[in-house]
Structure 1
Amino acid sequence: MTSSKAHKPIRKAVFPVAGLGTRFLPATKAIPKEMLPVIDRPLIQYAVDEAREAGIEQLIFVTGRGKTSIVEHFDTAYELEATMTERDKSLAVLEPTRVLPGNLVTVRQQVPLGLGHAIWCARAIVGDEPFAIFLPDELMIGQPGCMKQMVDAYNETGGNLISVLEVPEDEVSSYGVIAPGARNGALTEVLGLVEKPKRADAPSNLIISGRYILQPEVMRVLENQGKGAGGEVQLTDAMAQMIGKQPFHAVTFAGKRYDCGSKTGFVEATLAIALEREDMRDEVRAMALRLLR
């Protein structure tokens, strides 16, 4: 399952952020869902921080109308910095929002044709390199981060990788799951992908979570792929065509996943992260106990 061959490094990451965020209306009427804060950082910042930890150099945002604030978040705010400097406030809090010139690129997904189409929109920037994909709705918290765990595995296996998580068997019908082959610790060979199987038909309880490392050939698959479920171009369909042609593995993420695409998941993430922070946890724990009483 492993190889000593050197593989092209993962330097680029695609962030599909063109969605409308209708589950969070009216909050997302004027603010992208990716800019909703979990404590004091917007959701997109957690994904970007995870990418940087994994050695990603270039951030590719696939955006849509009304998403300019995502790009502005990673721009230099001269007026804010000048005011903070005048007031003798540290600029360290803004350091994670800084991106080197040329390392942030945006492309538009003009029509909402699904995740596969969004990834295909970044084809010219990805070029002939393997690349990572981050779905910012999936907030992945671990030490090291999910993508760092995946890049470490990729450096051994090459090919394509997806992150997976084990869930109770009665939950598999809500997710895409893998048909597993040989296993080696956290690494599992992927023999197939099954979208939302019935519990009795599920080949495993390993669900696909929102992190991927794919070879550039997937773009050529997407180029000629028709619409799938929901009338959209499905990334899962394209990945399924790569299985058997290139190495394809799953990495079981050692950490916690929070589904910030749902309101309850967003609240859970906020509470869980607050309880991990030294500057907040005692007060938040006491607050939660008061509310539960």
Structure 2
Amino acid sequence: MKKIRKAIIPAAGFGTRFLPQTKAMPKEMLPIVDKPVIQYVVEECVASGIEDIIIVTGYHKRSIEDHFDAPSHDLVSLLEEGGESKKPLLEEVERISNLANFIYIRQKGGYGNATPVKNAQHVIGNEPFAVLWGDEFISSNPPRLKQCIDVYERYEQPVISGIKIEDRRRLTKYGIADIEPMQGEDRVFKIKKIIEKPSPDEAPSQIATHGCYILTPDIFPILNAQERGTGGEYYLPEAIDQLREQGRDILACVIEDGRYYDTGNKLEYLKTVVDYALRHPDLNGKFIEYLKGLNL
């Protein structure tokens, strides 16, 4: 069995929900206190054993490459002149560029979340690989991706991460998996179908599939032959469903002890910032005192 060493992070979207901010700054670079969103995704990959990270970008995403590049000579000199007080910052910016082997691809082809995966085919080759969206992540231990990789290594079948939605009224926001149990497993299920944004009464389960995939190279012939779907876009879930129809088992791995953060809209982004600010060691409780003082 080939080890999963490579991960694709699609990051070519315009981020229109955050305009005008995202006119010049990629949505993946929006800060969560003092780190951009995409760094949390990259760190999840690294903590899960990924060595090569393929970021599929657009023409307006150069700052992503700059962020994961080595720090400039001027910045290093400035931090070195700051002495011991600046040493942690110097170590951090140098650490970022050494997290993994970074490969950048400019997205080509039609819109849709399948296109960046197709664009990375020549880098992936004949290996299993991971796909994670660049604007959402889960805080969990072990990392979400590691949990999915562990499932793949047991069954050697494609895996999609899942979360249990406790409030059935929220099922309308997600792709909900129609699942069947697997012997000896309490959080791994076989996916029969994924229903996009069903009503609470029509939802086949409370397991929502979301932004972490373990895929095998037999997905690429399907992607290469795929026709445009709704809105003229190419969709990865539709390609995965075709893979299932060809006889592949598609598994759902329900993530243990995780908190899901979706920074793709303003409200959820602000919730993420507040949550991390409350736990940030540099703020040392000062932020919560500020919130208490607002008398909300």
Counterpart CA distance in 2 for 1:71 and 1:99 is: 13
Counterpart CA distance in 1 for 2:267 and 2:99 is: 35
Tell me which amino acid in the other structure corresponds to 1:64: G
Q: 2:248 aligned with 1:249, yes or no?
A: no
Q: 2:292 aligned with 1:289, yes or no?
A: yes
1:126 to 116, 124, 135: 124
* Range with greater deviation from structure 2 (227-236 or 270-279): 270-279
**Match runs of 1:90-109 below 5 Å:** 90=87, 91-99=90-98, 103-109=101-107
- The number of equivalent residue pairs is 286
1:129 to partner: Cα distance: 0.6
Q: 2:78 aligned with 1:83, yes or no?
A: yes
Tell me which amino acid in the other structure corresponds to 2:22: T
**Match runs of 1:16-55 below 5 Å:** 16-55=10-49
Partner in structure 2 of residue 4 of structure 1: none
Task: Indicate the SS of the match to 1:8.
Answer: coil
Structure 2 unaligned spans of 5+: none
Partner in structure 2 of residue 227 of structure 1: 228
Q: Could you tell me whether the CA contact under 8 Å between 2:110 and 2:234 is conserved in 1? A: no
CA deviations on 1:213-264 (whole Å, 9 max, x unpaired) are 1111111111001011221111010011122522321111120011100111
Shift of the 141–37 alpha-carbon distance from structure 1 to 2, 3 Å rule, reads same
1:104 to partner: Cα distance: 1.2
Relative to the length of structure 2, the TM-score reads: 0.92
Partner in structure 1 of residue 239 of structure 2: 238
Counterpart CA distance in 1 for 2:143 and 2:293 is: 33
Tell me which amino acid in the other structure corresponds to 1:240: D
Q: Could you tell me whether the CA contact under 8 Å between 2:37 and 2:136 is conserved in 1? A: no
1:281 to partner: Cα distance: 5.0
Counterpart CA distance in 2 for 1:120 and 1:248 is: 19
Partner in structure 2 of residue 206 of structure 1: 207
Q: Identical aligned pairs, as a percentage?
A: 35
Structural RMSD (CA): 1.6
Relative to the length of structure 1, the TM-score reads: 0.93
Q: Could you tell me whether the CA contact under 8 Å between 2:57 and 2:106 is conserved in 1? A: yes
Q: List, as ranges, runs of 4+ consecutive aligned residues in structure 1 with deviation greater than 4 Å.
A: none
Counterpart CA distance in 2 for 1:212 and 1:75 is: 26
Q: 2:147 aligned with 1:146, yes or no?
A: no
Q: Could you tell me whether the CA contact under 8 Å between 1:138 and 1:209 is conserved in 2? A: no
1:276 to 275, 279, 287: 279
CA deviations on 1:42-84 (whole Å, 9 max, x unpaired) are 0110000000000000010111111111011111123211221
Partner in structure 2 of residue 9 of structure 1: 3
Partner in structure 2 of residue 59 of structure 1: 53
* Range with greater deviation from structure 2 (149-158 or 7-16): 149-158
Tell me which amino acid in the other structure corresponds to 1:266: Y
Counterpart CA distance in 1 for 2:15 and 2:180 is: 36
Counterpart CA distance in 2 for 1:20 and 1:111 is: 15
Structure 1 unaligned spans of 5+: 1-6
1:203 to partner: Cα distance: 1.3
Task: Indicate the SS of the match to 1:124.
Answer: helix
Partner in structure 1 of residue 193 of structure 2: 192
Counterpart CA distance in 2 for 1:221 and 1:269 is: 36
